[in-house]
Structure 1
Amino acid sequence: MNSENLHKLLVETPDVDERYKMKTKLINDVDPYTLKDGELSLIVDDLPKIEFVDIMAYLVFTHSFYTKEQIKAYKSLQSYKYFESGFVIKLCTKIINDFVVLLGKVKHSQRANAKPLETWVIANKHGNVSTAHCTCMAGSGEACSHVGAILFAVNYFNSRDEGMSSTDVQCRWIVPSLSTTVPVVPVRDMNWGLPFIAQQPQEIQAGTKNELITILHKVSALGHTSALMRIVEPFASKLEATNTVDLPTNLWKYQNLCYTITYEEKVAVEVSTRRQAECSDWFKQRAGRITASKFRAVCKTGLIKPALSLIKALCYPTKLQHCPKPILWGVTNENNAVEEYRKNMEVDHEEFIINDVGLIISTKFPQFGVSPDRIVYCECCLGGCLEIKCPYLLNFNNVTSIEQYLQMRSTCLLKSEGKVILNRTHAYYYQVQAQIFVSELLYCDFVIWSPNIFFKERILPNFEF
C-alpha cells in the first residue's frame, strides 16, 4: 500500500518517486508513512545504537543519489538545537528485517502552529544510517535538519540508557530471597491480620473552666499576660485596649492630591542628568514619569486596561545590556548630525548657541519629563530644543535622497502641498510636542541625518494637539 506522500511524488517529481521506491526496498517495499500507530513501538530498547560518529558519517560523508557527491550537510549538524528546543514531538520504531525504521514528527522552526513535518529514517540496529526522507521542502535530499533532529533524539536516548535509574525503565520484579520460616500457602489460607495488637492512644480529659482560671491567675501573679485573658473573665474586663489610634481615612481622600516640584528642583535634576544614560540619576528620575518618547504610546493605550509592557517601560527604565545596532548607530553619529546642524544654523542665525541638556521635568505636572538632544538659542529666534534622528536603515539601504526615504515603509515623513514634513500622526511628532510644552521653549528643530541626507523642519507648539 502506497501513502499519499508517495502518490504526490509520482505526480510532481517522478525521479524522486523512483528514488523513494529504491529506499523502501530495504524494508520489503513497505512505505513507512503507511504504518499505523498499533504497529509501532515506543520502547527505548528498540532504538538503534546511533552515536555522533554515525550522524556525522551520514549527514556529511554519504554520497547523494542525485549528485553522486558527498552530501556535506554541515548545517544539519546544527539540528541538535531543533531537538534541544523540543521540536521533535514524536518518535517511534518498527523493526523490519535487520533494519529499524524510525518515524517521527518535527515542528517547523518558523511556524510553530503549522502541521508538523513527518520524517522517517532507516538504520540498522548497530546505528549505521542507510537513508531517510522528510515531507519538508528539502526532504528529498535525505539530509535535512529535521532528519538530523531525529538522529540526535535517538542519540540522546541512547546516552541516557547508560545511566538510567529504576524509574526510567519498565517495571522489573525483585526476586525475593527464600524464607525457611514462612510457609508457602494459598492466598485463601493466609492470615491478613496484624502481627501484634497496637497500643491504643490514651484519652485525654478536657480541662474545666475553674482549672483554666486557676492557671491564668498563676500567670497573672508572675506579671505576665495571655491572649486567653482577653476573652476569659474576670481578666478581660480589667485589660485596657491596646489600639487607641484612629484608623486613617482611605486613599480616596487623596485622589485630588496635587503634587508639584520647585524650579530649583527642576534645575537640579536637569544638571545632574546631562550625561543621560551614563549616570544613575537619569534612570531614577525617569522612573514613573511619562517621557516624550513614550508620549504617543501613552495617548493610544487603553485607560481601563493599559498595555503592561508600557507600564513596565515607564516604571522600570533600565540600561540596555546589549545595545542594538540601530541605537548604537544613532548614538555614534549624533555628534556628526549636531555639527552639520550647527553649520546650517550659523549661516542665518546670529549668536547661535547649542548646549547639552539633561532631563527636564514639568514643575506643574511633574509626571511628565523630556530630554531633547540639545538646547539651542539665537538672538533672532530665542530658545528652542533640538531632536535628532539617525535612522539606521538610511545607511544600511544606501538611501541617498529624501525622495527615496519617503517611499520606505518605515519613513516618518510625508509630502503635503509639495513640502516634505514630519508626519503629524507619527510618534516623533508626539515626542516633539511634548518636548516643547514641558521644556516651555518656543520651538523644536527636528533633524534627520545620514551620511547622504540632512533634513530639518522647525516645529512650533500645536495648542490644539
Structure 2
Amino acid sequence: MSTEVKHCVKSSMPDIFKEIKDWNDDMRSWPNLMYGDIYNYLIRSKAVDGETMKNFKSLQSYNYFQSANVDKILHFNATDNKIFMKASVQSSQTVSRLNDAYVMCTGEGAVEQAWCTCMAGLGLSCSHVGALLWKIEYAVRNSMTGVSCTDETAKWNRGTTRNIEPKPLVSIQLKKTKLGENTMGNENVPGLRDTPFYVSKEEFKEAVNASPMLPLFEIKGTIMNKSFKSNPSVRTQESIEQVHGEHNDLSSCAKCVQFLSKYVFLTDSQVVRLQTETTLQSKSLLWKDCRKLRITASSAHKVPVKETTDSTNFIREHLHPKFVGNKFTKHGQQGEIDAKVYLNSNGHQVQEKGICVSQQENWLSASPDGIFDGQTLLEIKCPVPSSSWSTLDQLFESGKYDVGKDENGDIVVKEKGSRGIYLQVQLTMYCTGLKQCKLLVWLGVDEHKYIDILYNETYVNNQVTRLKTFSCKKTSTCLVNEIQDDRLMMSKAFVKFMHI
C-alpha cells in the first residue's frame, strides 16, 4: 500500500473512533456478542450504498482468528450503552504488517459500525473486522467474559497472537482441526510427513468392514463405494518381491546393509562434525532425522525387553512421533537452561553437544545435556513438584522416582527405574566415551542435588547386545521399507550431510 493510499485510508477513520484516547484491557466489560450478531452485521446490515452487505466472504475471517492473527483487544465504554472495541490483526499476505480493526456495538452485542485500516476497511466489513468479532464471540461462548472472568482467563486476551514466521513446506503439516480442539493453545508446529493410515488396500478394506460407516461405503454409484470396490491402479506392496534376507545380524541382509551404508553408517570425522552441527538439538532438523534412524539413549528404556513383545507402537512413535511436548517438558527445558546458567556462574564450564553417535555402533546415539568441566557427562533432570512432595528429599524418600535412598541413606540411581534414567546415562557415556557422569536433579538455585555415577561396563555391554538385536530384527526392516515407500522423508540438511 503506497504512502498516499495509507494516508487516505487513515484520514477516512470515523471521528467517533478518533476521539477515544483511553482504551482499556478488561474482558469483564466486553459485550455479550454472539454468532447471530456477527451474521446480522456482516450479511444482513446495510452497506455504505444502502444495500445489505451480504459479505459472505468475510465469514472466512474465522480462519484469521483460529490462526492466532488477532492481537490483544482493547475497549472503551461510552455513556450511551455503546462499547468500542479495537485490535491489531495480522495481514494474510505478509507477516510484517498489522491492520487496526475497530468495532462499535451495544452491551448486548449488536454491532452498529466497524472500520479497518486495510483497503477493504472502507467498506466497513473486511475480514480483519470479522476476526475481531470472532475473538469476542469465542470469549463469550466459553464464559471468559463478564463477572466470571478471572486473572487466568484474562491472560488469554494477551496471548492469542504469536509470532508467525514463514516456514518451508517440508516443515509444515496441514491438518483439519478436530471438533472441540482448542487451537489457540496449540503451539505445536508439526514436522515431516506422518505415516498414512492405510498402507495396503487390504488394510483399508479391513478397517472399513469393521467400521460403523460400512453402510455408507456400500451405497452404489457413490465415490465412497467406488473407492471401496475398485482395484488399485498400481501394484500393491504385497505383490512387490521382498528381497530382505535373514536378520541374524546387521550384515546378514543385503538390502539392509545397503540402506545402513547410505543412511546410518558414519565415518569418524562425520561423527565429530555431527556433534557440532546439531548443538541446537530439538531445534535442528538434522538432529531429528539422525535420531529417527537410530535407537537413542533417552528412548532405550521403551524398547521391548522380550522379542515376542509387539514393537509396532514403539517403532511407529519413534519414526513418526506425535508427542510434541507438554507443560512438563517445557518445565524441564527451562530448568535445564537455569541450571546451566547457575553452573557457569559458579565457575564451572558446560560444553554444549549435539547428537553423539556411537563410533562402535552407529545405530545407537545420545544427546547429552552437556560436558561438565571437560571430562564428565552432565545430565540434568527437572521433576515437577506435586501435591505429594515439594522437596527433593521427599521425592527421593517416596520411592516413586528413579533417584532414591538405599538402606544407608545414601542417594542412588535405580538401575530399573521407570523413567530409564540409569540406562540413559550409561548409554550416553558409552556414546561419548566418558567414564563418569554428574546427574543434577534440579528444582532451583536453592534446591538441587548432585549424584555421581560411574560407567558400568558390564551393564552397558548387556544392554547394547539386547538393543542391537532389536535394531537388527525389528528396526532396520521398518526403516528400509519406510524410506523405500516414501513414508519417511529426510530433510535437505540430512541429505546434504550424508551426500545422498
Compute the TM-score of the two structures, normalised by the length of structure 2: 0.38
Pair member with larger Rg: 1
Q: Using CA pairs below 8 Å that are at least 6 residues apart, which structure has the higher relative contact order?
A: 2
Compute the TM-score of the two structures, normalised by the length of structure 1: 0.40
